[in-house]
Amino acid sequence: MLDDFLVRAALAGLGVGLAAAPLGCLVVWRRMAYFGDATAHAAILGVALSLAFDMSIFTGVLVIALSMAMLVSTLSGKGYAMDTLLGVMAHSAIAFGLVAVSFVSGVRIDLMAYLFGDILAVGKTDLLVIWGGAAMVLVLLVWRWQALLTATLSPDLARASGINPERERLVLTLALALVVAVAIKVVGTLLIAAMLLIPAAAARPFARTPEAMALIAAVFGGVSALGGLQASLWFDTPTGPSVVCLAALIFLGASFIDLLRRGLSAQAK
């Protein structure tokens, strides 16, 4: 079954969607959208590192994504506004990454595949890495969910409950770096943040609890991945962007339903 490239692509997209969407809920709640963007953009520098030192792409991207996330966490609150700091880091990271890739000699590099993903080229080893990383992220979220949620809602309440907010932010940083590392093959560095944020944002109108929002976001993430893959085959469009386009359409549909529901509720009153 895994000899079929479409089956591998579908499984890869499903793995990324299921892992990224619940994590994206925490990113949305913490208002860390640009933080995810900066970490994802640094991934192209990880690609250059991997090619230069002849290591796996996953390892290089994970190291750089984690380093970027830690650097941003360390520098936040040190005299710079967070949005300014993240803007500088995000755009600098991708610029340095693209320049670094140009210095790697003797290797033919398809930058488009790293920028926008190449899900149809996913191999069996890639699939193992993607699902291994996705499983680690999901286990980490389930294990630390209550602590992460408490630290997100109120750092003071977390401290009073014996939870270290800085430690939970480190856990979230590690999970974010893992998602970036496994998602680069599927949607590329420029679209990873979209898979974190859009399914989570689309799930918000339908959820009454944080856990429900995470589960609905995971469903939307999986549907976006599988549906985007199918749409790219139908219309002969780039697969990574097609996945994100479908996620955006789901978000628009969810927003319309929410507005309609609010209007009907207002009329009832």
**Is residue 217 included in any domain, yes or no?**
no
What is the pLDDT confidence band of residue 79, given thresholds at 50, 70 and 90? low
pLDDT at 204: 92
Lowest mean pLDDT among 99-113, 125-139, 164-178: 99-113
**Is residue 58 included in any domain, yes or no?**
yes
Asked if residue 111 has pLDDT above 60, the reply is yes
**Is residue 54 included in any domain, yes or no?**
yes
pLDDT at 182: 87
Provide the mean pLDDT of the chain.
85
**Is residue 221 included in any domain, yes or no?**
no
- Specify whether the CB–CB gap between 60 and 53 falls below 8 A: yes
**Is residue 51 included in any domain, yes or no?**
yes
pLDDT at 77: 59
pLDDT at 248: 95
**Is residue 33 included in any domain, yes or no?**
yes
**Is residue 96 included in any domain, yes or no?**
yes
- pLDDT tens for each residue of 118-163: 888 888 888 898 999 999 999 999 999 999 999 988 888 889 888 9
pLDDT at 217: 95
| Mean pLDDT, residues 188-213 taken together | 90
| Mean pLDDT, residues 94-108 taken together | 76
**Is residue 254 included in any domain, yes or no?**
no
- pLDDT tens for each residue of 32-77: 777 777 788 888 888 888 887 888 888 888 888 888 877 777 776 5
CATH number of the CATH domain containing 69: 1.10.3470.10
Domains contained in the chain, number: 1
What is the pLDDT confidence band of residue 107, given thresholds at 50, 70 and 90? low
Structural domain boundaries, residue 41? 5-191
What is the pLDDT confidence band of residue 184, given thresholds at 50, 70 and 90? confident
